[in-house]
């Protein structure tokens, strides 16, 4: 065999070895159980450690619950070094709609919104969705499913639970489920609708329990006081009051006391307000027999979950890899029997 032939054979062997190595490398990469990060995974990892701006749109603090809710949202946003918050408050749906549009123009990364009115703010919610911005709705729902997350209390359960305690109290006082009752409701919203529906769904099985009057108190003690004054003047006999909110209950109590009818009726309420808890503890008249919890801490929870959504993280302890679409918080009954466990001098509400 010539020297030239030997060189050609050696060259051919070398080429074969190189091709074999390349082929084996490709097969090993495709068969490996450990995937190398793709560009999208790297982008996601970078985003998880990035900085974000969250827009927060809430009603003005015209009563204690809303004031606490605003404070809790700000407090949670301030905990995160990578979060900048823009907080707007409004007194009417038109102003809140304008605030939402401004946040969209500012290209915030997420929006947390408590609608002043459900129907009126639904178009604004749709605009947020079209802009591709995650929307976290708090407390009052909107009439669309375009939001990323809803966080609120069990409003139907509050109405249903208040009705149960009201019927039980009537039986205890009168020996039967019978009485003339009134309702002081909130603003036009999903909260008001659900609390009214839950209440009526329960008492429909008790024909002796009659709602003789219903007026809005708009979730404020001042308007509730006026509504209650009107009802007291028009009705000489009232056995019980269904108040949809503890702030309203404060106004209702004042109207009843001013009319010197505190021994005549009792109240069922909701919210979890420390002022109401103190009335229970002191056994003040008119008696508040129950307040089902509806905590303003839900705004802090909403902001926290907004950060998880932006960072692509799940709720700790959940098997699911993303934050749910709908979260409803429990409505816990607080009564004179267990009120001591709920008294908290450091509470914002």
Mean pLDDT score, 36-50? 40
Domain contains 27: no
According to DSSP, the β-strands at 240-243 and 266-271 are: parallel
In whole angstroms, what is the distance from residue 82 CA to residue 263 CA? 55
**Proportion of the chain above pLDDT 70, given as a percent:** 86
Domain contains 38: no
Model confidence pLDDT, tens digit, residues 140-149: 999 999 999 9
Which of 141, 98, 181 minimizes the C-alpha distance to 298?
A: 141
Q: Domain check: are 173 and 264 in the same one?
A: yes
**Lowest mean per-residue pLDDT among 9-23, 140-154, 161-175:** 9-23
pTM: 0.77
Total domains in the chain come to 2
* pLDDT, averaged across the chain: 87
Q: Domain check: are 159 and 250 in the same one?
A: yes
State the angle between helix axes of 221-234 and 246-258 in degrees (0 to 180), rounded to the nearest 10.
Answer: 40
In whole angstroms, what is the distance from residue 342 CA to residue 265 CA? 24
pLDDT at 234: 97
Residue 52 reports pLDDT greater than 70: yes
Show the tokens assigned to 281. Answer: 């503890």
Q: Domain check: are 146 and 64 in the same one?
A: yes
Q: How many CA atoms lie within 13 A of 279 on its CB side?
A: 25
Q: Residue 63 class from Cβ within 10 Å (0-12 exposed, 13-18 middle, 19+ buried)?
A: buried
Alpha helices in the chain (DSSP H): 3-31, 39-48, 64-78, 93-105, 118-130, 155-174, 190-203, 221-234, 246-258, 274-281, 298-311
Q: Mention every residue, 6+ apart, whose C-beta is less than 8 A from residue 247.
A: 63, 64, 65, 219, 220, 221, 224, 271, 273
Q: Domain check: are 174 and 265 in the same one?
A: yes
**Sign (positive/negative) of CA torsion 158, 293, 213, 219?**
negative
Tell me how crowded residue 92 is: count the other CB atoms within 10 A of its CB.
13
Domain hosting residue 148, numbered range = 51-153+297-329
For residue 69, name the pLDDT band (cuts at 50, 70, 90): very high
According to DSSP, the β-strands at 333-334 and 287-293 are: antiparallel
Q: Domain check: are 222 and 324 in the same one?
A: no
Tokens 């409004």 sit at which residue?
90
Mean pLDDT score, 240-247? 96
Residue 21 reports pLDDT greater than 90: no
CATH number, residue 244: 3.40.50.2300
Question: Which one is predicted more confidently, 243 or 18?
Answer: 243
Residue 25 reports pLDDT greater than 90: no
Q: Domain check: are 146 and 207 in the same one?
A: no
pLDDT at 49: 57
Domain contains 166: yes
pLDDT at 63: 75
Residue 100 reports pLDDT greater than 90: yes
């Amino acid at each position: 065999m010539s020297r030239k032939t030997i060189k050609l054979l050696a060259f051919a062997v070398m080429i074969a070895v190189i091709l074999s190595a390349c082929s084996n490398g490709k097969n090993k990469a495709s068969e490996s159980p450990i995937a190398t990060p793709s560009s999208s995974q790297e982008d996601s990892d970078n985003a998880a450690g990035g900085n974000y701006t969250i827009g927060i749109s809430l009603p003005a603090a015209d009563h204690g619950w809303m004031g606490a809710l605003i404070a809790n949202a700000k407090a949670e946003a301030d905990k995160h070094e990578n979060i900048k918050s823009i907080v707007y408050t409004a007194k009417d749906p038109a102003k809140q709609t304008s605030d939402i549009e401004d946040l969209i123009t500012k290209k915030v990364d997420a929006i947390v919104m408590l609608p002043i009115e459900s129907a009126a703010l639904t178009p604004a919610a749709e605009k947020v969705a079209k802009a591709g911005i995650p929307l976290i709705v708090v407390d009052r729902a909107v009439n669309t499913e375009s939001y990323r997350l809803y966080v609120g209390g069990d409003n139907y359960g509050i109405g249903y639970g208040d009705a149960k305690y009201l019927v039980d109290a009537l039986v205890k006082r009168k020996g039967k489920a019978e009485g003339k009752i009134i309702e002081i409701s909130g603003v036009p919203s999903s909260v008001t609708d659900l609390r009214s529906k839950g209440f009526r769904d329960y008492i429909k099985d008790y024909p002796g329990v009659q709602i003789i009057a219903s007026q809005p108190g708009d979730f404020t003690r001042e308007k509730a006081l006026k509504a209650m004054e009107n009802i007291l003047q028009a009705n000489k006999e009232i056995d019980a009051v269904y108040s949809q909110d503890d702030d309203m209950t404060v106004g209702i109590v004042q109207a009843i006391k001013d009319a010197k009818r505190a021994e005549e009726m009792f109240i069922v309420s909701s919210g979890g307000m420390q002022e109401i808890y103190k009335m229970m503890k002191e056994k003040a008249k008119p008696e508040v027999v129950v307040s089902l919890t509806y905590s303003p801490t839900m705004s802090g929870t909403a902001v926290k979950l907004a950060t998880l959504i932006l960072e692509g993280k799940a709720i700790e302890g959940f098997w699911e890899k993303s934050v749910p679409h709908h979260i409803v918080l429990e409505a816990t009954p607080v009564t004179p029997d267990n009120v001591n466990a709920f008294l908290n001098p450091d509470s914002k509400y």
